[in-house]
Amino acid sequence: MKSLPLLALLPLAAGCVYVLSSPAPSAQAAATGPAPAAQAAQQPGTRPAPQETWSRDVAPLLYAHCTTCHHPGGGGPFSLLTYADARRWAPQILIVTQSRFMPPWLPESGYGDFADVRRLSADEQSLLKRWINAGTPAGDLKAAPPPPRYDSTWQLGPPDLVLTIQRPFTLPPGGTDVFRNLIFPNPLKAIRYVRAMEIRPTPAWVVHHANVLVDRTASLRAAHPADWQDGVPGMELLMDAGNRFDPDSHFLFWKPDTPALVEPEGMPWRLDPGNDLVLNIHLKPTGKAETVTAQIGLYFTPDPPGHQPMLLQLDRDDLLDIPPGDANFVVENQITLPIDVDVLGVYPHAHYLGRDLEGWATLPNGEKKWLVWIKDWDINRQSVYRYREPLRLPAGTVLNMKFTYDNSAANPHNPTSPPVRVTAGNRSTDEMSHLWLQVLPANTPPNSPDPRLQLEEAWMRNRLSKSPNDHVTLYNLAAALAGQGRFGEAIGVYQEELKLDPGNARTLTALGASLEGDGQPDQAKQQYTRALAAGSGEGNSSPAACDARFDLGRLEVRTASFEDGEKELRAALAACPEDAETRSMLGAALLGAGREDEAVKEFNRALALDPADFTALYNLGAMASDHNDAAQAQTLLEQALRARPNSTDAHLKLAMVLARQNRLPDALAHLRTAASLTPDDPQVHSLLSQVLDAQGQSEEAFSEQKRALELDANDADGWNNLGAMLARGGQTAAARSAFERALKIKPDHAQAKANLARLSSTN
């Protein structure tokens, strides 16, 4: 199935924020006399305390906490790289650091163990205060540490790919904040994995924050065909997640102090041909018109992700209806985790009325673990907060959020005076109540379905408890159920969604896929045909039409209608973007029709687009096995299993390749895996029996063959094999009965005839 969840994508807001005031007196004026603290007489007999200096004490502190924003060309309004800079702005530094307005760090200490904490310690606050009150002594400037270097080009070196917006955007000189979505098509011809990304908006000082969204089907560009080059207005977007279960699982955000985003080891994100990157950018007018441009630099790794995180959201936007004057408006939400997870990061989000934001976890034993607590929320100072170490939460843990809003005149952040009623929405003057968690499934049993599907199901059921008729949530729930093989349940949910949106081509396609998975191919074909008709109304190259045509072509191939399958798949390739899955499925159609050379070409074209395409790897491996090229077959099938570890067919095929090389223990391992994946497949148990028997494990071999025949009593080969085992064990009467059963099913079964004759001749 190529149609999977539509997910609401994450809006981020993060960055450095500054209070501008008159600059400090010049260095010459400031040096006319010592600060009052320096004039205090020392007590007799006491030794003077060492005096803090710029070079020894203050420069290292500012370089560590401040200059990532406060450097020439940075997001801060002034630089703090030199002694003269710091002395000039000393009064401002004193105010914002003693009030903890700077550096920007909202979480309360002790309520989440975060990495890269910006908050100054009490000792660091005192150091700055003493230095400023002492008249900002310089010390030996030659002994000061060298200032950090901030390159105006790419911080991580030349990127592997640079994307640039199509047309600059003009920011008006005044008015409210502007939220714009700048679209970056990518020129890739094959799937790549992104290990790092650098975002370069220009000029940086007009950008409060930005975050990148991956539009898997270029749906935003398709929705704005005439003017997408100018950007699409808005704070939040809903985009088509495309043909895989692929939640927007990374915090891909920009703020002035962290332009380079490096993903954790083993967790790159995927970028496919045809994907667009969308830069959701928050711009602040400066008093004059500004020309805004942006580039995105991407750094690739050849290695696909070894770990698949997911973003979970708690929210109560449905309850946000805050009366004017209400200083204590509270919303709460909970989600119960169905599996063990490691929490990697947290992102709480509200707008101007947010005051107190709490997130915590209640473990099954009742223990409370804090995720984050912000007691003095400020929309202009928010960020993503990553934990120093992953926070392990077991299945059954309840995630909790509690957000308190202040819509009174006493709230200094309130954007309206007098206060007005505020409801949920995407404008900055509306409100939101979102708590995002980036989680990584933990303790996942081997060969189980993608554990993120269980998280998706829990999340969508939580959303439906608040908004039962939300058709996007219904679609996502059904897709999560289908991904777990619960096709009957998925069919029911898709049908509920179609009552709300009867002509939705994507839902019709997804319903067809679930019907196909449920063993109803004729009904599936009907839905694919309906979806194709509905999707073609949006254009033959629309994502919905492309998916419907692919699924219809794939169904024809699976039901051995190879000519019809080829026709549909070639039509998909003509109308839709180049796609590895469509190429490899066309190869399968050609292979089924006996056109092996043409099939190989299509499989190789698919692998050029996606080296991990399972269908191409599996079929090429199977063909190599048929041609007795065991080494090539093994290599390709092992690659196929890396792409899809839970493929029973690939485990079986590889086991047969290994068994022919007399590598019976290795073959046995793959057969046991196949049996655990599909315990009711008689072929698996029959093959497992044969390998066990060849290894001399007669008792278990006999048990497996009996199980195979319980599942398929019409297998003549199975009855013959069972008879041979019984004969070797001296159970002559039972062996004769098994051989006769094989001949009843297949009267010309040569081995059963010979075995029965041999058995009769020995008695």
**Per-residue pLDDT tens digits for 727-738:** 888 899 998 999
Give the span between the Cα atoms of 582 and 91, in whole angstroms. Answer: 65
pTM: 0.80
Domain boundary pick from 114, 143, 172:
143
In this structure, the answer to whether residues 334 and 385 fall within a common structural domain is yes
Residue that terminates a domain, selected from 87, 108, 143:
143
- Report residue 570 as tokens: 């070639």
- 195 and 334 co-located in one domain: no
Could you report the per-residue pLDDT of 520-529, keeping only the tens digit for each?
Answer: 999 999 999 9
- On the question of pLDDT at 311 being above 60, the answer is yes
Neighbours of 196 (CB within 10 A): 18
On whether both 287 and 427 belong to a single domain, the answer is no
How far apart are alpha carbons 347 and 114 in whole angstroms? 12
The pLDDT assigned to 712 comes to: 94
pLDDT at 20: 30
Decide if 568 is inside a domain: no
Do 179 and 277 belong together in one domain?
yes
> Residue 301's pLDDT is what?
95
Helices 716-728 and 682-694, interaxial angle, to 10°?
A: 30
pLDDT at 496: 96
- 3-class secondary-structure state, position 394: coil
How many independent structural domains does the chain possess?
Answer: 3
Give pLDDT, residue 4. 43
Residue 390 shares a structural domain with residue 262: no
Per-residue confidence at 539, pLDDT binned at 50, 70, 90? low
Could you tell me the pLDDT band of residue 33, with boundaries at 50, 70 and 90? very low
pLDDT band of 590, cuts 50, 70, 90: very high
The more confidently predicted of residues 251 and 510 is: 510
Model pLDDT, residue 42: 42
pLDDT band at 498 (very low <50, low <70, confident <90, very high): very high
Domain range for 352: 310-443
- pLDDT score recorded for residue 22: 32
**Domain edge (last residue) among 405, 420, 443:** 443
Q: How confident is the model at residue 196 (pLDDT cuts 50, 70, 90)?
A: very high
CATH no. for residue 419? Answer: 2.60.120.230
Q: Which of 280-294, 533-547, 692-706 has the lowest mean pLDDT?
A: 533-547
Token pair recorded at residue 286: 């400066």
Give pLDDT, residue 237.
Answer: 62
- 640: confidence class by pLDDT, cuts 50, 70, 90: very high
User: In this predicted model, what pLDDT tens digit does every residue of 74-89 receive, in sequence order?
Assistant: 767 788 999 999 999 9
Token pair in block for residue 668? 């046995």
Q: Within this chain, do residues 246 and 322 fall inside the same structural domain, yes or no? A: no
Give pLDDT, residue 3: 42
Q: Give 524's strand partners.
A: none
* Nearest residue to 610 via CA among 639, 634, 631: 639
Residues 157 and 139 in one domain: no
Residue 401 lies inside a defined structural domain of this protein: yes
Q: How confident is the model at residue 232 (pLDDT cuts 50, 70, 90)?
A: confident
Mean pLDDT of 292-308: 91
Has residue 187 got a pLDDT over 70? yes
Residues 314 and 349 in one domain: yes
The β-bridge partners of 202 are: 293
Q: What percentage of the chain reaches a pLDDT higher than 90?
A: 62
CA–CA–CA angle 411, 415, 419 (5° rounding): 70
The pLDDT tens digits of the residues spanning 118-132 come to 888 899 999 999 999
Confidence of residue 211 (pLDDT cuts 50, 70, 90): confident
DSSP code per residue over 485-538: T-HHHHHHHHHHHHHHSTT-HHHHHHHHHHHHHTT-HHHHHHHHHHHHHHHHTT
**What is the C-alpha separation between 746 and 754, in angstroms, rounded?**
13
Q: Name, in order, each residue with C-beta under 8 angstroms of 237's C-beta and a sequence gap of 6 or more.
A: 9, 181, 213, 220, 278, 280
168 occurs within a structural domain = yes
Identify the CATH number of the domain in which residue 210 sits. 2.60.120
Q: What is the pLDDT of residue 249?
A: 78
468 assigned to some structural domain = no
User: Do both 204 and 240 map to the same domain?
Assistant: yes
Q: Does residue 234 lie in a domain region?
A: yes
In a domain, 464, yes or no: no
Report which of residues 233 and 400 the model is more confident about. 400
pLDDT tens digit string along 53-73? 999 999 999 998 888 878 887
pLDDT number for residue 241: 59
Average pLDDT (594-610) is: 95
| Res 162: pLDDT | 96
| Per-residue confidence (pLDDT) for residue 538, from 0 to 100 | 63
How high is the pLDDT of residue 547?
A: 87
Q: Is residue 744 part of a domain?
A: no
What's the confidence (pLDDT) of residue 446?
76
pLDDT at 396 over 70: yes
Cα Rg, the chain, nearest whole Å: 33
- Six-digit token pair at 750? 């040569």
Asked if residue 219 and residue 178 are part of one domain, the reply reads yes
Asked if residue 59 and residue 96 are part of one domain, the reply reads yes
In a domain, 633, yes or no: no
pLDDT score for 763 = 62
Angle among Cα 193, 611, 683 to the nearest 5 degrees reads 120
| Measured CA angle at 479 (ends 477, 482), to 5 deg | 110
> Do 115 and 189 share a domain, yes or no?
no
What is the four-CA torsion angle of 637, 639, 641, 647, rounded to 10 degrees? Answer: -60
CA-to-CA distance for 226 and 503, rounded, in angstroms?
25
CA separation, residue 511 to residues 6, 198, 506, 517, 639 (Å): 14, 40, 9, 10, 31
Task: Supply the pLDDT for residue 149.
Answer: 82
